Chain A
């Protein structure tokens, strides 16, 4: 276990977004959090990152460094890509930027494969490029735990593939623990080692993609009827066939 939530509850006023959820993620794995809109995915991630008040506990190693990437929003700042990535080092940045911080930023840009965009204004990038830049920002901090809120939702299919592949590779290579909220069930099945399916703030199912993506669980979580097919490499493919009665 490298991060574990125990009986985690998140409330916004009278609304309970996450109720008594217990979930663990491990070293070197990608855990995809899936579920319908409003099922508590983002709140779970924010609570794990320590950004919203919650009850219950979140346990992690004292030396753990969390990299949190919120949902994509339009960036209006007059900053270059390099500056955005450098901000990942915020905790150590001084007025005169130290060499280790510069090196880490340049390395992260390289790692996500967009070093040629370093001097471009962030506002001039496409959605896919911007998401890669923010991924580099999170990686620049040398995190041990990655918490990513819909890292691929706004992207076309090629960029989605690129971002998720990169994420899985970085997780293996750096030995990270990665928890990502994903909307695309087939992408989740393909790129994640394990899935956690949320329903009304609680954990409905957890385990391998094949164990979680079943017609019964999908009907309960999303209100759809679906066929589960076997994909070319054996991972399950979800084909919605209608809205459940």
Chain B
């Protein structure tokens, strides 16, 4: 292969990866339309699209699509993207395909924060509807800070950070159990329901908040894309190439805590997306992070949007908690992916 041919081959590869992401985007659009069309009343897709475009004057239809289903459909996409992206960054900086905000206790931190407000929040001078997400966000950030601080103590090796994350998971789960133990019946029920994860609490204001965080953090992560790619070759090599590895990890942790905190604050604990979306993305577009990060976000959005559709179809008339759906559909799918990957 000549020099020109090597460059051309790499450009072709880049174009193919962009095409994969474009296909995921098309799939996401289809899933979003299906999400708006499904529910207690099944709507024709054409009517849904006309309503979105503002060329439908059936007020009933407009109310269902724009006020009830649009916030939920958008929330699924934005939260899925945030979880997929944060999972991708975690797996990159920790050099561990099992890392995600769920497995490293950040979601558990958020759950504890939410439960804290549910149990003791009556004393707070804020409405619970905002106090719960705020506490969930703050405790997700605290969990992240704990893991990062453990890394600062003794050189931020990936192994140490993963261990710290798992310790964090156990700590917040224990604290959460403690809260559940002392909670009243009603509070307990609320905690359990929050932990299920649900998109039904979505509103356009909440969508806008999570979207703002996603829009603010994504460019910062993309700016480090090549440095993240270099980190895939190991800390030593990345340092030799000029990466300030410790600073990069810390920066990435801050971004992940913002993304995860914002994502889980309003919808509760949704596991698995952060684990499986990057896994699929890696197989499709490789680990050039300029492709890998956007693809992980897109696939996360697609997965959660599809799960939202599924949550309404399993038992007509009932919306299953989305956290349960993602795990029930996701786990067998993930197992299939892993087995297939191992056989290759």
* Interface of A toward B, CB cutoff 8 Å: 49, 51, 67-71, 73, 75-80, 82-84, 86-88, 90-91, 93, 95, 102-103, 105-107, 109-110, 115-116, 118-119, 134, 137-138, 141
Contact = CB atoms under 8 A, between A and B. Distances in A.
Contacts of A73: 234, 236-237
B337 to A, nearest CB: 14
Contacts of B233: 75, 77, 79, 84, 87
Nearest to A87: B230
Interface stretch (B1-9, B23-31, B52-60, B253-261): B1-9
Contacts of B95: 76
24 contacts: A51-B240, A68-B240, A69-B240, A73-B236, A73-B237, A78-B282, A78-B287, A79-B233, A80-B10, A80-B13, A88-B241, A90-B230, A93-B226, A102-B7, A103-B7, A106-B3, A106-B7, A118-B1, A118-B5, A118-B10, A119-B1, A119-B10, A134-B237, A141-B241
Contacts of A77: 229, 232-233, 287
Contact of B229 (A75, A83, A106, A141): A83
Contacts of B286: 78-80, 83
A70 B288 CA distance: 21
Interface string B218-239: 0000110111011011101101
A80 B227 CA distance: 16
Contacts of A119: 1, 6, 9-10, 13
B290 A95 contact: yes
B332 interface: no
Contacts of B232: 76-79
Interface string B274-299: 00000000100011101000000000
A111 B10 CA distance: 18
A93 B3 CA distance: 19
Nearest to B11: A102
Nearest to B10: A82
Contact of A116 (B1, B7, B236): B1
Interface of B: 1-7, 9-10, 13, 95, 222-223, 225-227, 229-230, 232-234, 236-237, 239-243, 282, 286-288, 290
Instruction: Among A78, A87, A141, find the residue whose CB has the most chain B CB atoms closer than 10 A.
Output: A87
Instruction: Among A49, A75, A118, find the residue whose CB has the most chain B CB atoms closer than 10 A.
Output: A118
Contact of A79 (B223, B229, B236, B241): B229
Contacts of B222: 95
Contacts of A109: 3, 6
A91 B238 CA distance: 11
A49 B1 contact: no
Given A79-B232, A79-B286, A118-B1, A70 B10 contact: no
Contacts of B1: 115-116, 118-119
A79 B7 contact: no
A82 B6 CA distance: 8
Contacts of A49: 240
Contact of A118 (B9, B236, B240, B243): B9
A95 B229 contact: no
Nearest to A66: B240
Contacts of A67: 240
Contact of B239 (A51, A91, A110): A51
A116 B226 CA distance: 24
Contacts of A103: 3, 7
Nearest to A70: B236
A69 to B, nearest CB: 7
Contacts of A102: 7, 10
A73 B222 CA distance: 27
Nearest to A94: B226
Instruction: Name the 5 nearest CB pairs between A and B, nearest first.
Output: A77-B232, A68-B240, A106-B3, A118-B6, A70-B236
B236 A90 contact: no
Contacts of B6: 82, 105-106, 109, 115, 118-119
A87 B225 contact: no
B247 to A, nearest CB: 14
A90 B241 contact: yes
B3 A91 contact: no
A83 B4 contact: no
Nearest to B222: A95
